[in-house]
Amino acid sequence: MITIRNFSDEDAPQLWLLFYHTIRTINCRDYSEAQVQAWASDEVDAALWLQKMQAIQPFVAELDGRIAGYTDLQKDGLIDHFFCHKDYQKQGVGKALMHYVLAQAKTRDIKTLHSHVSKTAKPFYMY
């Protein structure tokens, strides 16, 4: 069962690893090595990453006791991050997160959502 909860600061290192490995394993199919390295650098400033996560306040999806994905919803309707763990692709994590975001948007009276969608994620959003 997929559960979704609010971010806590302790999640930041795991979310970085999820972000990094998903881009390096999944998104690399659609982007050049240079693009992938610019997007998910081998060097991470843990303090800056924590600040980013604190700023966007993501929702964290867990499956089998592990973080399986995360996303966020900003006041202007922006979904800044939407990532599913490389080992949990096509297992309903993205769908659960999207349903959660849509429910949050309705609760917050956000009428329009938008995102900068990667080539890799485009089919998911078109579904």
Residue whose pair of structure tokens reads 């394993």 in the numeric block: 25
Element (H, E) at 54: helix 46-56
The structural domains of the chain, with segments of one domain joined by +, span 3-126
60 forms bridges with which residues in the sheet? 5, 70
Q: Which pLDDT does position 127 carry in this prediction?
A: 62
- 3-state SS string for 82-109: EEECHHHCCCCHHHHHHHHHHHHHHHCC
Task: Give me the residue label for tokens 């996303």.
Answer: 71
Q: Quote the CATH superfamily of domain 3-126.
A: Gcn5-related N-acetyltransferase (GNAT) (3.40.630.30)
Tens of pLDDT, residues 39-83: 999 989 999 999 999 999 999 999 989 999 999 999 999 999 999
Nearest residue to 63 via CA among 83, 36, 38, 93 = 93
